[in-house]
Amino acid sequence: MNAQDFAANDIAKLHYGDGEFAILKPGRYVLCAVTGVKIPLDQLRYWSVPLQEAYATPADALKRWRETNG
């Protein structure tokens, strides 16, 4: 299975905390706030607590940080 196999109803709703996240609505993935890429929950490593959004890569997280803090 790959990321293209996910259906729209597989989107999870999360609450992002410091070093962990809580699942508010079960699903298989979240969307990257910068690129829109689907991120399977088991591969989610980058997010913003203040903005409550996920990022696919460190570069995406840095881009959003620069947009909001620059």
Q: Look at residue 16 and tell me whether its pLDDT is greater than 80.
A: yes
pLDDT in tens, 25-56: 999 999 999 999 999 999 999 999 999 999 99
Number of folded domains that form the chain: 1
Q: Look at residue 23 and tell me whether its pLDDT is greater than 80.
A: yes
> What pTM, to 2 d.p., does this model score?
0.85
HEC secondary structure over the chain: CCHHHCCHHHECEEEECCCCEEEEECCCEEEECCCCCEEEHHHCCEEECCCCEEECCHHHHHHHHHHHHC
Residue 8: predicted pLDDT: 59
Domain hosting 46: range is: 3-69
| Residue 9 confidence class, pLDDT cut points 50, 70, 90 | confident
